[in-house]
Amino acid sequence: MALVPCQVLHAAILLSYCSILCNYKAIDMPAHQTYGGSWKFLTFIDLVIQAVFFGICVLTDLSSLLTRGNDSQEQERQLKKLISLRDWMMAVLAFPVGVFVVTMFWSIYIYDRELVYPKLLDNFIPAWLNHGMHTTVLPFVLIEMRTTHHQYPSRSCGLAAVCTFAVGYILWVCWIHHVTGVWVYPLLEHLSPGVKIIFFAAVTVIINIFYLVGEVLNNYIWDTQK
């Protein structure tokens, strides 16, 4: 795809995430006032990740346009750093975390929404915003993978980074429970300590699987085109 259409696409998706984040933060929900605020929810963290990622995409597109036809080696080095950061974020955060949030949320929601998204939240969060947080993330990240080639890190480094993120978030959830006595997600209230350990381990494995899926999909798309 040509650079200009990609640039417009990146800018549109970035604006979409900025709108979703602004509308979400404007909601006066009791959960926003408790310990950890919005940052205790993986959905919110994922929205920030996606917004930052597409912000870097827009910055990379602009830098590519500005350096086109320019022989400055310093600008070329800076552009390569931006591209490396963009590719790393896509591989390690934007794709695996985004796909994980969408698939896990809707899987649990279909089984029993009260475990992850109590009906009470419908009074605060409109349906379009819910889909903006839990649905559109998947097509956006798939479109990005289809339109832009991303260089994945070595598999060991990529999996290590994904594991670090997953374990870090699990520890954050456990710390919030330690401080407040309340689990971030109602689902965890129904699990025994042993089952919680198995659940957290399974979550870590699943997000690593999504990393591998992203790597395979990226290679398939671009190797086929080559």
Extents of the domains making up the chain: 6-224
Q: Annotate 104-143 with b (16+ C-beta within 10 A) or e (fewer).
A: bbbebeeeebeebbeeeeeeebeeeebebbbebbbebbbe
Residue 187 in this model has a pLDDT that exceeds 80: yes
User: Average pLDDT, stretch 54-74?
Assistant: 84
- Average pLDDT of the chain, as a whole number: 91
Residue 176 identity: I
Phi, psi dihedrals of residue 120, rounded to the nearest 5° = -55, -30
Weakest-pLDDT range from 85-94, 153-162, 184-193, 196-205: 184-193
The burial of 161, by beta-carbon neighbours within 10 Å (0-12 exposed, 13-18 middle, 19 or more buried), is given as middle
Q: Which residue did the predictor score with more confidence, 25 or 68?
A: 25
In this predicted model, what pLDDT tens digit does every residue of 1-30 receive, in sequence order? 444 478 889 999 999 999 999 999 888 888
Question: Does residue 64 have a pLDDT over 60?
Answer: yes
- pLDDT mean over 38-60: 96
The residue that leads in pLDDT, 76 or 209, is 209
Per-residue pLDDT at 151 exceeds 80:
yes
Please state the pTM of the whole predicted model: 0.92
Q: What is the mean pLDDT of residues 158-169?
A: 97
